[in-house]
Amino acid sequence: MEPLIIIKDLGRKYVIGTEVIHALKSVTLTVNKGEFVALMGPSGSGKSTLMNLLGCLDTPTKGEYILNGINVSHMSDSQLADVRNKEIGFVFQTFNLLPRSSALDNVALPLIYAGVKKKDRDERATKALVNVGLEHRVHHKPNELSGGQRQRVAVARALINNPSIILADEPTGNLDTKTSIEIMGLIEDIHAKGNTIIIVTHEEDIAQHAHRIVRMRDGLIEEDYQNTDIKTVRIKLQEL
């Protein structure tokens, strides 16, 4: 398999007053194209810091990060923003949707930054919403949607630029059990189409959907293993 992410001795420290906090001590990790990885760990384990580095939302204080053949370890903020828009799709716990914009406009937002013309943006965003089962909610605003529907809008937005990787940060954290199952079914469907997915979660049952589980503690990887007891939902989108 071809590596998509190569991390070598990655670390991140923060200086707060006279105190130095080593949020991430040293992480070496390879993620291949097409993998479905769950990143787990208790509060303070470093998983959120690693997620921010993987998503090019932060830069490391040591080590190397190569994403899809690009060394992003020491890029400027503007360069990182360009990489994020082209290479990474984000799904957040809090959805991060623009409240006054329609589902269509929320999904099309990354295409504006990519310089895509409005007609093409709308066509691609509509298709993305259809693919996540929201063809009848294209013009609805977030407050007119359920939590599960809002998260599906967020998933469609994450996929709109055909990114190299989908990073999902506690994607079911604000959802009830039934809706969480629906969203995991959607994520499984996305993975089955060949997308690389890294999901950050503290929920064991959510992590069990992944094919590989990486557990962190104290800024280090504690365990990294293939999941032989994969939990699958297998929900068809039209049934959601």
Predicted confidence at residue 94, as pLDDT, reads: 86
Q: Is 124 among the domain residues?
A: yes
Is residue 216 domain-resident?
A: yes
What is the tens place of the pLDDT at every residue in 150-204?
999 999 999 999 899 999 999 998 889 888 998 999 999 999 989 999 999 988 9
Residues ≥6 apart with Cβ < 8 Å to 165: 4, 5, 31, 54, 67, 68, 87, 88, 89, 195, 196, 197, 198
pLDDT at 84 (0 to 100): 92
Asked, for residue 10, whether it belongs to a domain, the answer is no
Task: Output the pLDDT for position 240.
Answer: 45
Structure tokens at 218: 């104290």
Q: How confident is residue 236, by pLDDT bands cut at 50, 70 and 90?
A: low
DSSP line for 54-66: HTTSS--SEEEEE
Beta carbons within 10 angstroms of residue 65's beta carbon? 22
Considering the domain boundaries, does residue 26 fall inside one?
Answer: no
Number of compact structural domains in the chain: 1
Would 6 be classed as within a structural domain?
Answer: no
Separation CA 95–CA 57 (nearest Å): 17
Cβ-based neighbour number of residue 6 at 10 Å: 16
Q: Give percent of the chain above pLDDT 70.
A: 97
Given a cut of 80, whether residue 114 has pLDDT beyond it is yes
As a whole number, the mean pLDDT across the chain is 92
Indicate the residue type of 46.
Answer: G
Task: Note whether residue 176 is domain-resident.
Answer: yes
Q: Domain containing 126 — which CATH number?
A: 3.40.50.300
Domain coverage including residue 53? 34-60+76-239
Record the pTM. Answer: 0.90
Distance of CA 120 to the CA centre of its chain: 24
Which helix (H) or strand (E) element contains residue 20? strand 19-32
Quote the pLDDT of residue 36: 96
Domain for residue 8, yes or no?
no
The answer to whether residue 71 sits within a structural domain is: no
- Tell me what the mean pLDDT of segment 18-39 comes to: 95
